[in-house]
Amino acid sequence: MIFVGTNYHPHDWPRERWPEDICLMKESGFNLVRLGHLCWDSFEPSEGNYDFAWFDEVMDLFAEAGFKVVLDIATRPAPTWLHKKYPIINITDQHRNRLHSVRRYMEDVGNPVFQEYAYRFAERLTTRYAGHPALHAFGLCNEVGAGMQTYSEEARQRYIQWLRAKYATIGELNEAWAAQRWSRKLGSFEDVEFPVSGERTGPPERMLEVRRFYSDEQLSYLQGLSDIVRKHAPDARETTNHWGEYPALGFDYLKEYQQIFDLPGVGFYPGVNPEDHNALFGACFTMVHRIGEKDEAIWCLEFQTGSFGAYAPPKGVLRMYAYLSLLFRSGAVCAWTWRSMLGGEEQYLFGLLDHDGQPGRKLDEFREFAREMEQLKPIGLPYLPQPEIAMAYSFESFRVSENSKAYYKTAYLEQIMQTFLALSEDNVAFNIVDLRNIEKNYKMLLVPGHCIMDEASASAIRKFVQEGGTVIMTAYSAKVDEHNRVFSTTMPGRLSDVFGIRANAFENAAYHYSDSNEGGLQKQKLNIRRETPNIKMNDRILDYRVDYYEILELTSAEVLATFTNLDQELPAVSINAYGKGKAVYVAVPAQFELMQELLSHFYAQLGVEKGPETPLGVSARQLGNHVIYVNTTADEQHVFLKVPGEGLLTGKLYETSLELAPYGVEVYKAAATSNI
pLDDT digits (tens, 9 = 90+) for 86-123: 999 999 999 999 999 999 999 999 999 999 999 999 99
**Strands across the sheet containing 645-647:** 618-623, 626-631, 665-670, 645-647, 653-654
pLDDT band at 672 (very low <50, low <70, confident <90, very high): confident
pLDDT band at 570 (very low <50, low <70, confident <90, very high): very high
* Cβ-contact 533, 549 below 8 angstroms: yes
pLDDT at 423 over 80: yes
Model confidence over 593-651: pLDDT tens digits?
999 999 999 999 999 989 999 999 999 999 999 999 999 999 999 999 999 999 999 99
Cross-strand bridge partners of residue 645 = 654, 670
* Cβ-contact 321, 277 below 8 angstroms: no
pLDDT band at 675 (very low <50, low <70, confident <90, very high): low
Strand segments, DSSP code E, in 385-518 are 389-392, 430-433, 444-447, 470-474, 501-502, 506-508
CA distance 118 to 40: 9
CA distance 316 to 320: 6
Q: How confident is the model over 257-277, as a mean pLDDT?
A: 97
Q: How confident is the model over 580-589, as a mean pLDDT?
A: 98
Q: How confident is the model over 576-582, as a mean pLDDT?
A: 98
DSSP string, 526-561: ---BS---EEEETTEEE-----EEE--EESS-EEEE
Which helix or strand (DSSP H or E) is residue 468 part of?
none
Q: Is 335 helix (H, G, I), strand (E, B) or coil?
A: strand
pLDDT band at 521 (very low <50, low <70, confident <90, very high): confident
Which residues, 6+ apart, have CB-to-CB distance to 280 below 8 Å? Answer: 270, 271, 274, 324, 632
Cross-strand bridge partners of residue 105 = none
The mean pLDDT value of the chain amounts to 96
pLDDT at 493 over 90: yes
Alpha helices in 537-668 (DSSP H): 592-606
pLDDT band at 422 (very low <50, low <70, confident <90, very high): very high
Q: Is 192 helix (H, G, I), strand (E, B) or coil?
A: coil
Residue 233 DSSP one-character state: -
Task: Quickly count: other Cβ atoms within 10 Å of residue 570's Cβ.
Answer: 18
Q: How much is the pLDDT for 674?
A: 54
Q: How confident is the model over 374-402, as a mean pLDDT?
A: 98
Q: How confident is the model over 528-544, as a mean pLDDT?
A: 92
Q: How much is the pLDDT for 519?
A: 79
Among candidate residues 523, 254, 501, 271, the one with its CA nearest the CA of residue 394: 254
Percent of the chain's residues with pLDDT above 70: 99
Q: How much is the pLDDT for 676?
A: 61
Percent of the chain's residues with pLDDT above 90: 95
Q: Is 203 helix (H, G, I), strand (E, B) or coil?
A: coil
DSSP string, 135-172: EEEEE--S-BTBS-----HHHHHHHHHHHHHH-SSHHH
Model confidence over 170-206: pLDDT tens digits?
999 999 999 999 999 999 999 999 999 999 999 999 9
Q: How confident is the model over 510-527, as a mean pLDDT?
A: 80
Please tell me the total number of residues recorded for the chain in this structure: 676
Domains of the chain: 389-606 (3.40.50.880), 618-670 (2.60.40.1180)
Model confidence over 309-337: pLDDT tens digits?
999 999 999 999 999 999 999 999 999 99
The model carries a pTM of 0.97
The phi and psi torsions of 69 (rounded to 5 degrees) equal -115, 130
Q: How much is the pLDDT for 673?
A: 56
* Cβ-contact 667, 620 below 8 angstroms: no
CA distance 111 to 118: 11
Q: How confident is the model over 275-285, as a mean pLDDT?
A: 96
pLDDT band at 131 (very low <50, low <70, confident <90, very high): very high
Q: How much is the pLDDT for 281?
A: 97
Residue 97 DSSP one-character state: P
